[in-house]
Amino acid sequence: MLDIIKEPWPWYVAGPLIGLTVPALLILGNKSFGISSSLRHICAACIPANVSFFKYDWKKESWNLFFVLGIFFGGMIAAHLLMIPEEITVNPNLKAELATYGITDYSNLVPTQLINFESLLTLKGFILMVVGGFLVGFGTRYAGGCTSGHAIMGLSNLQWPSLVATICFMIGGFLMANVILPIILSL
């Protein structure tokens, strides 16, 4: 049984399971799926500031905080108990391209040559971690939600803004991976 959990699940199993989350949330509690709103709930609960954006009854949305905690602890359990000790499989063409940028360690989910505390003090690390984090946060707020909220919940509800946001997420991802990231990695 544990071997089934450790292996990557095919799209035709994982996709419907993720997709069934939407009707389950709607039917069981009239709730919308999304992760980025949990940061707003945490700020509303913890920061007693006089900011109108945080003045709402966040306790009505506390289920979302438990959902995010479940994702966090589920990820921790998976990382520690279900970790496969072998090197992560990377396409040989991608490996060859990344080697030109000095990225050769695939023992973790994220290459240690890119994401570590020492590289945070370099221009490349600062751009990837701090500027990238800021842009993700800003983009999420500007788009009115994250990829999970728009691409999973919004599209299943046939919301036009979610279609536009999802298309923009995809275009941004393609541009980042194929144009901007190679420039940053060559710094």
Q: Give the pLDDT confidence of 10-40 residue by residue, as tens digits.
A: 889 988 888 888 888 888 888 877 788 888 8
Phi, psi of 12 (to 5 degrees): -75, -5
Q: Are residues 74 and 122 in the same domain?
A: no
Q: Are residues 67 and 125 in the same domain?
A: no
Q: Are residues 65 and 123 in the same domain?
A: no
pLDDT reported for residue 63: 85
Within a domain: 143? yes
What's the structural domain count of the chain? Answer: 2
DSSP assignment of 115-165, as one string?
SSTTGGGSHHHHIIIIIHHHHHHHHHHHHTS-HIIIIIIIHHTT-HHHHHH
C-beta separation of 154 from 148 below 8 A: no
pLDDT tier at 1, thresholds 50, 70, 90: low
Q: Are residues 134 and 71 in the same domain?
A: no
Within a domain: 95? no
Q: Quote the crossing angle between the two packed helices 160-175 and 132-143, to the nearest 10°.
A: 160
Within a domain: 89? no
Q: Give the pLDDT confidence of 85-137 residue by residue, as tens digits.
A: 777 788 999 999 989 988 888 877 788 888 888 888 889 889 988 999 899 88
Cα separation, 163 vs 150, whole angstroms: 7
Within a domain: 155? yes
Within a domain: 101? no
* Residue range(s) defining the domain that contains residue 16: 1-83
